[in-house]
Structure 1
Amino acid sequence: MIREWLPPERESVVKMIGEGILWRLEEIAAMLQNSTVYVYEEKGQIRACAMYDLTSFGDDGTAEIHLYTHPASRNQGIGSALFDKVWTELQDKKPAAVATTYRVDQQPSTDFFAQRGFQPIWGHHFMKYIGEAGPEPVLSVRKFEEKDLDMYIQSQSDAYYEVRKGIDLKPYKLTDYTEKTMTSWKTWILNDMREDIYLFYDQESFVGSLILTPHGEVYDVFVDPVHQGKGFGEQLVRFFVNRTLEKGLQPHLITGTHNHPAIHLYEKAGFQICQTTTTGKRELA
């Protein structure tokens, strides 16, 4: 039976999804909080769920959906029924496109969304660090300050330009996002992330940055193009690994499957790929 979920079921749904995809449970809970959620119930047990959100993807007019079926309940048409349920509702909402993320190390998931017209636009590797602490970086390190905002955004935009262009991920320059998206990004940096952003310097020259999260994951690692190819990326990674191990946590990260220099850097530093996902998109407008 397909029905809307009930608030008391949040914990069990979060746990079920977390067993299938390596996202933090807090991230899954937040995703559910802002979504319209349906579950498939069988003999009093939730066996699958589907959800959609019209605002979470970041591109105006693009809805985001997620679908998960417990392994014991797959190949029974349950996922198809849930997909049809949310898809029918989305047609009334009239988004310009719909996006979803699924594991590509499980072929049935890839086939499922390919059959429904989704085209891959980018992929991600989930990587974990296997090893011990290493040498400390020789670069100078300091915390992000509000006065750094414009420089930080411009440098990150420059650093990701070639990678985004290589996979035709528009806008190629992050600074070309819409005013609404830029405002949201700046708010996220200043309100949510500012205490976790570290800036690295070679003497007085800005080299790069990363976001070191309290749960052992690193975000937005980049080296300014002026300083790429000088080994500074390895020092940023060592800083992240050492600070995370000091907290008794396992360092982990997500990087694009298209970002081969970054993958090489992380593997050389001692990270291993544990899971691979792809985000697919279907245009509707």
Structure 2
Amino acid sequence: MLTTQQLIDIEQLQKECETHDHLQLKLNWEMLRKRESDQLDFFHYENGELVAFLGLYAFGSTVEVCGMVKPSERRKGHFHQLFQQGMEKIKQNEYKKILLNAPAGSDAAKVFLYKQGAEYAFSEHQMEWQEKPLEETDGIILRQATLEDYEKRVRLSVTAFGVDEEDARAMESQVFVDNTAMLMIDVKEGTVGKIRVSREEGQAWIYGFSILPEHQGKGIGRKVLRRVIKEQSSAGYSIHLEVETKNDHALRLYESVGFKVVHAQDYYKYQLG
């Protein structure tokens, strides 16, 4: 697992990079804080200060890669060195699909990724809820997921996100930290969906929100979002989520309850040579 000092160093470097570059990095803090080993994170220190970092985030057979370099330490080869170490680890672990992540507004990241031969794959919008009145919700129950919900969660990941079953089983086997709630969505017909809410430093993030295809188009998703928004905003949290830019249906749903796009992340496919 990562040490407290390493997590502090990563956070400080992230803030410095985001302030300097006027963008938002995606470092998957939920995963960083529950690392079971430090074998997926790579650090470069100069005089006791973290100046470059690269993290690998595995989702079944897919691995996402994200990193950063202190503005004054760029163009010195630090990140290229970490990138090579990360790719070697990916080769050892035999991940099938590699996605390199970079903020859409980072021209430097684009140049680096194209130099590596990476190919643009898709983008995600990062959205934040803007306060607005919401109707009351009824007819749905949000309850904590249990072991008995495992197969349903796998089915939801496969049918709603197009994830293959092996990856879905790996993803749904993850144990989340205390500040994360895995919730199942029940209606009178039974369990029809799931949603995960993670709270960190005044922010609530929505992940893995999915409704079974046969129950979509009935207004269930909108009710769930209203319920989650009301609960989290009442508790003092700002509310955030990510959605793939080409998912027009989801984008319209989120916008209808008050979410606005604030940042974008680009993803690139990468093949090991």
Question: How far apart, in 1, do the equivalents of 2:235 and 2:152 lie?
Answer: 30
2:197 aligns to what? 212
- Whether 1:151 aligns to 2:152 is yes
1:164 aligns to what? none
Change (3 A) 1:242 1:183: same
Change (3 A) 1:244 1:133: farther
| Deviation (angstroms), 1:113 | 0.6
Amino acid at match of 1:257: T
Amino acid at match of 2:254: Y
Q: Relative to structure 2, which stretch is displaced further, 191-200 or 232-241?
A: 191-200
| Deviation (angstroms), 1:266 | 1.1
2:21 aligns to what? none
2:212 aligns to what? 224
Q: Is the Cα–Cα contact under 8 Å of residues 125 and 264 in structure 2 kept in the other structure?
A: yes
Amino acid at match of 2:130: I
1:46 aligns to what? 50
Question: How far apart, in 1, do the equivalents of 2:231 and 2:74 lie?
Answer: 41
| Deviation (angstroms), 1:125 | 1.9
1:17 aligns to what? 14
Change (3 A) 1:92 1:244: closer
1:236 aligns to what? 224
Amino acid at match of 1:241: I
Amino acid at match of 2:60: G
Q: Is the Cα–Cα contact under 8 Å of residues 185 and 194 in structure 2 kept in the other structure?
A: yes
Change (3 A) 1:120 1:57: farther
Any gaps of 5 or more consecutive residues in structure 1? 161-171
* Cα deviation code 1:174-212 (max 9, x no counterpart): 3x432xx454334227998995313131x3354433223
Question: How far apart, in 1, do the equivalents of 2:231 and 2:257 lie?
Answer: 15
Amino acid at match of 1:198: M
1:276 aligns to what? 264
More helix by share: 1
Q: Is the Cα–Cα contact under 8 Å of residues 133 and 245 in structure 1 kept in the other structure?
A: no
Aligned CA RMSD, in angstroms, stands at 3.5
Q: Is the Cα–Cα contact under 8 Å of residues 18 and 28 in structure 1 kept in the other structure?
A: no
Amino acid at match of 1:153: V
| Deviation (angstroms), 1:79 | 3.4
> How many residue pairs end up in the alignment?
259
Q: Is the Cα–Cα contact under 8 Å of residues 207 and 232 in structure 1 kept in the other structure?
A: no
TM-score by length of 1: 0.73
For residue 12 of structure 1, give the secondary structure of its aligned residue in structure 2. helix
Amino acid at match of 2:264: T
Question: How far apart, in 1, do the equivalents of 2:159 and 2:139 lie?
Answer: 21
Question: How far apart, in 1, do the equivalents of 2:217 and 2:13 lie?
Answer: 42
Q: Is the Cα–Cα contact under 8 Å of residues 181 and 198 in structure 2 kept in the other structure?
A: no
TM-score by length of 2: 0.76
For residue 238 of structure 1, give the secondary structure of its aligned residue in structure 2. helix
| Deviation (angstroms), 1:103 | 1.1
Change (3 A) 1:198 1:133: farther
| Deviation (angstroms), 1:273 | 1.7
Amino acid at match of 1:17: Q
For residue 126 of structure 1, give the secondary structure of its aligned residue in structure 2. strand
What does 1:228-267 correspond to in 2, within 5 Å?
A: 228-267=216-255
| Deviation (angstroms), 1:234 | 1.4
Question: How far apart, in 1, do the equivalents of 2:93 and 2:198 lie?
Answer: 36
Q: Is the Cα–Cα contact under 8 Å of residues 130 and 272 in structure 1 kept in the other structure?
A: yes
Question: How far apart, in 2, do the equivalents of 1:81 and 1:51 lie?
Answer: 13
What does 1:30-109 correspond to in 2, within 5 Å?
A: 30=34, 33-41=38-46, 45-51=49-55, 56-59=58-61, 64-75=64-75, 77-84=77-84, 86-87=86-87, 89-90=88-89, 93=92, 95=94, 98-109=98-109
Change (3 A) 1:199 1:72: same
| Deviation (angstroms), 1:158 | 2.4
Q: Is the Cα–Cα contact under 8 Å of residues 40 and 49 in structure 1 kept in the other structure?
A: no
Q: Is the Cα–Cα contact under 8 Å of residues 64 and 100 in structure 2 kept in the other structure?
A: yes
